[in-house]
């Protein structure tokens, strides 16, 4: 009887645990091992280089630096613009406006589209001669600004980012909406009686009570910004001239196009470590809360 | 009097802002639809906002012929993987919440950490593993991988829900003489249906939209799902914009259908899951 009770949890866990180990845990550990080698994946010529790959990425690989920079730009842009807009939309929609659900679904639907679809749709929007963006600029008399946005190394990443905001703003918005709706009316009523003005109630009541939501929004946004791939690969493939490469896409190229398995694995472990730094506080937070 | 006038004005202003924003959000899809309905000659001769000279529904028929195999593949993969994943995750969540288990929290955190492992980090070893078992370019192979990546999120959602189910129900089951498996299937699963339904929709969409893994592990064109297939489609028809846009529109129809009818589940599921 006792023996049976001890085995049961493991039996139920077994399928998930087995698959999880085989697909996520062991492969990521193995790729850590691979990152210490200079190898192309097939030949018998496999040289141990220790931290050589990690070092050469920082010191010699200019595209790696571009990728890091682009991820940073995307990160800062996401934290400010995407979260800022998401919060703004949520605040607007939180009022007792009619048609609120309608607007919410309009702002959220791009989030359910795949990155590839977003990439194709927006590549078409940015088409130099037939795209909507060019047409729009002409209509408002700014055709001087018209540009092949996606083929210009200086503008490509930002053009993709706009598409990224279109796709991504819905998530912070619904998260903030949920957080806002959980706030009771009482603090606001008390504040109004005390003569507080709207900006003050926002700063001293709304923001503090949204603290939990902010943690979640920040964590998901940061990890998403580090892992961004589909939309960039779909719109520019990392170009022009590697100007829009990010860590994920550059890792793809190194591993699968150039067969530098060791380098590719090193890039991916850089990515893991950065994500770890971001997500560990979040995991601690979540598992603490579930103890209540 | 003053206050309500002020409120009406600010509300009116908000509506204007919301309407402008809504236009920005719907615009790309409208643009796609307009393009899809034109003939190529029409597209070249006239500007974007001109209504199609003639509604080229044939574009949709042509596009459908070419992407239909990709859609079919996506459907097959999703229909098999999603229920399977839910079963696997539910069993695990059950173990973590319902069975006396010393390592429950530690195991949960262990699984949760997997959520921040970027897929890229596992690709090469996974490729080697699939090759070793001759599972490359097979549906079982890719589904196994999809299952793996779905576990952290799935366990997170189902565990969260199961934690909230009162323990009294377990005791009732014990009295009835159910074994653990019976408790699982006859009591917990039916009660967890809302969470399962939500997870079903979220996971279906995630699987349908998945690109990176499909791109790498399914290289045979006939087997590719819609995400990878659409990129190929774009490559083949990169100058035939009307056909391409028709294809895009067709490929998002299933997703939008699910969205329109199950939006409530989607959004509440997303929110609930992320909050843990």
- Residue B128: per-residue pLDDT: 87
Q: How many domains does chain B have?
A: 2
pLDDT of B2 strictly over 70: no
- pLDDT for A289 equals 60
Judged on CB neighbours under 10 Å (0-12, 13-18, 19+), A97 is middle
- Does residue B79 sit within a domain? yes
What is this model's ipTM?
0.84
- Are B231 and B175 in the same domain? yes
Mean predicted lDDT score pLDDT of chain A: 85
Per the domain annotation, does A139 fall within a domain? yes
Structure tokens at B244: 């391409």
Q: Answer with the residue of higher pLDDT: B211 or A196.
A: B211
Q: Is residue A22 part of a domain?
A: no
SS3 assignment, position A22: helix
- Name the CA dihedral angle for B264, A122, A246, B118, rounded to a multiple of 10 degrees: 30
CATH number at residue B111: 1.10.3720.10
Residue B155 lies in a domain: yes
pLDDT tens figures, B229-247: 888 877 776 678 888 888 8
pLDDT on residue A291:
47
Q: Is the pLDDT of residue A243 over 70?
A: yes
The predicted structure's pLDDT at residue A96: 67
Please state, as a whole number, how many other Cβ atoms lie within 10 Å of the Cβ of residue A8: 19
pTM for this predicted structure: 0.85
Whether A27 is covered by a domain: the verdict is no
Q: Rounded to 5 degrees, what angle do the CA atoms A119, A124, A129 make?
A: 145
- Do B86 and B21 lie in a common domain? no
Indicate whether A180 belongs to any domain.
Answer: yes
The answer to whether residue B51 sits within a structural domain is no
Q: Residue B188: inside a domain, yes or no?
A: yes
A248 falls within a domain: no
- pLDDT for the residue numbered B90: 93
Model confidence at A5: pLDDT above 70:
no
Which chain B residues are within 8 Å of A245, Cβ to Cβ?
A: none
**Is 80 exceeded by the pLDDT of residue B72?**
yes
Does B201 lie in the same domain as B151? yes
Distance from CA of B260 to the nearest CA of A (A): 8
Residue at B227 is within a domain: yes
Domain residues for B15? 2-36
Residue A157 structural domain: 68-242
Inter-chain touch A286–B276, beta carbons under 8 Å: yes
Residue-wise pLDDT for A46-77, tens only, equals 888 888 889 988 888 889 999 999 999 999 99
Q: How far apart are CA A52 and CA A29, in angstroms?
A: 18
Q: What percent of chain B has pLDDT over 90?
A: 19
User: Which residues from B are below 8 Å from A129, CB to CB?
Assistant: none
Q: What pLDDT, on the 0 to 100 scale, is given for residue A178?
A: 85
Residues B31 and B84 in one domain: no
What is the pLDDT confidence band of residue B143, given thresholds at 50, 70 and 90? very high
Taking CB atoms and an 8 Å cutoff, what residues of chain A touch B117?
Answer: 24, 28, 272, 275
Q: Are A81 and A165 in contact (CB under 8 A)?
A: yes
Statement to judge: residues B106 and B7 lie in one domain: no
| Extended beta strands in chain B, E state | none
Quick: pLDDT tens for B205-221: 999 999 989 988 888 88
Can you give the pLDDT at residue B50?
67
Nearest CB to A24; choose among B27, B48, B122: B122
Give me the DSSP letters along A120-180.
HHHHHHT-TTTSHHHHHHHHTT-GGG---GGG-TTTHHHHHHHHHHHHHTHHHHHHHHHHH
B112 and B26 within one domain:
no
Q: What would the pLDDT profile of B96-141 be if each residue is shown by its tens digit?
A: 888 777 888 888 889 988 877 878 789 889 988 998 898 888 999 9
Digit-coded pLDDT (tens) for A116-144: 999 989 988 888 877 888 777 777 777 66
Q: How many domains does chain A have?
A: 1
User: Is residue A75 in some structural domain?
Assistant: yes
Backbone angles phi, psi at A130, to 5 degrees: -105, -5
| Strand partners for A48 | A37
We report the CATH number of the domain holding residue A122 as 1.10.3720.10
Residue A161 included in any domain: yes
Q: Could you read off the pLDDT of A249-276 as tens digits, one per residue?
A: 999 999 888 888 899 899 989 988 888 8
**Hey, which residues 183-202 in chain B have their CB within 8 Å of chain A?**
184
Least confident of A189-198, B12-21, B251-260: A189-198
Contacts of B59 (CB under 8 A, 6+ apart): B36, B37, B38, B39, B242, B243, B245, B246
Flag the least confident range among A68-72, A244-248, B49-53, B55-59. B49-53
pLDDT at A292 over 50: no
Residue B170 lies in a domain: yes
* Cα–Cα distance measured from residue B92 to residue A11, given in angstroms and rounded to the nearest whole number: 9
Same domain, B16 and B114: no
Q: Give the pLDDT confidence score for residue B63 in this predicted structure.
A: 85
Q: Which of B184, B189, B119 is nearest to B148 (CA)?
A: B119
Give B 241-260 residues with CB within 8 A of chain A: 241, 244-245, 248, 251-252, 255-256, 258-260
> Does B83 share its domain with B182?
yes
A81 interaction partners in chain B (CB closer than 8 Å): none
Is residue A262, in this structure, part of any structural domain at all? Answer: no
């Amino acid at each position: 009887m006792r023996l049976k009770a001890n085995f049961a949890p493991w039996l139920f866990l077994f399928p998930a645990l087995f698959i999880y180990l085989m697909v996520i845990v062991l492969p990521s550990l193995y790729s850590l091992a691979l990152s210490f080698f200079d190898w192309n994946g097939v030949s018998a010529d496999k040289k141990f280089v220790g931290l050589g790959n990690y070092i050469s990425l920082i010191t010699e690989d200019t595209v790696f630096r571009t990728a890091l920079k682009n991820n940073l730009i995307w990160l800062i842009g996401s934290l400010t613009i995407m979260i800022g807009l998401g919060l703004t939309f949520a605040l607007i929609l939180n009022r007792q406006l009619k048609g609120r659900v309608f607007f919410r679904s309009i702002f959220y639907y791009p989030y359910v589209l795949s990155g590839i679809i977003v990439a194709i749709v927006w590549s078409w929007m940015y088409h130099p001669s037939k795209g909507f963006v060019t047409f729009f600029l002409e209509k408002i008399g700014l055709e001087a600004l018209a540009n092949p946005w996606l083929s210009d190394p200086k503008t490509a990443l930002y053009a993709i980012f706009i598409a990224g905001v279109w796709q991504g703003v819905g998530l912070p918005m619904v998260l903030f909406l949920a957080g806002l709706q959980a706030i009771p009316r009482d603090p606001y009523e008390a504040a109004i009686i005390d003569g507080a003005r709207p900006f003050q109630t926002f700063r001293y009541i709304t923001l503090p009570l949204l603290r939990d939501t902010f943690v979640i929004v920040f964590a998901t946004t940061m990890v998403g910004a580090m892992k961004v791939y589909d939309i960039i690969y779909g719109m520019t493939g990392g170009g022009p001239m590697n100007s829009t490469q990010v860590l994920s896409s550059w890792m793809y190229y190194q591993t699968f196009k150039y067969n530098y398995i060791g380098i590719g694995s090193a890039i991916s472990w850089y990515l893991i470590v950065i994500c770890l730094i971001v997500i560990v506080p979040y995991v601690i937070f979540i598992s603490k809360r579930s103890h209540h | 009097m003053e206050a309500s006038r002020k409120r009406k004005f600010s509300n009116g202003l908000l509506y204007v802002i919301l309407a402008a924003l809504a236009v920005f959000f719907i615009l790309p899809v409208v643009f796609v639809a307009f393009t899809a309905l034109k003939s190529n000659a029409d597209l070249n001769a006239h500007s974007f906002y001109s209504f199609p000279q003639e509604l080229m529904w044939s574009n949709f028929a042509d596009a459908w012929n070419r992407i239909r195999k990709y859609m079919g593949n996506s459907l097959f993969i999703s229909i098999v993987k999603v229920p399977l994943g839910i079963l696997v995750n539910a069993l695990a969540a059950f173990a973590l919440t319902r069975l006396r288990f010393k390592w429950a929290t530690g195991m949960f955190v262990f699984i949760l950490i997997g959520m921040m492992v970027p897929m890229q980090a596992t690709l090469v070893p996974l490729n080697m593993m699939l090759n070793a078992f001759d599972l490359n370019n097979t549906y079982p192979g890719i589904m196994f991988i999809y299952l793996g990546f779905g576990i952290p999120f799935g366990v997170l959602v189902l565990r969260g829900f199961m934690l909230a189910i009162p323990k009294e129900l377990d005791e009732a089951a014990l009295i009835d003489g159910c074994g653990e498996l019976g408790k699982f299937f006859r009591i917990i699963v039916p009660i967890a249906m809302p969470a399962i339904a939500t997870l079903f929709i979220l996971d279906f969409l995630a699987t349908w939209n998945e690109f990176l893994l499909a791109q790498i592990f399914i290289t045979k064109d006939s087997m590719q799902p819609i995400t990878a297939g659409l990129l190929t489609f774009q490559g083949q028809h990169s100058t035939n914009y009307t056909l391409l846009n028709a294809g895009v529109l067709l490929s998002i129809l299933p997703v939008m259908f699910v969205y329109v009818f199950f939006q409530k589940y989607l959004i509440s599921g997303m929110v609930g899951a992320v909050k843990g």
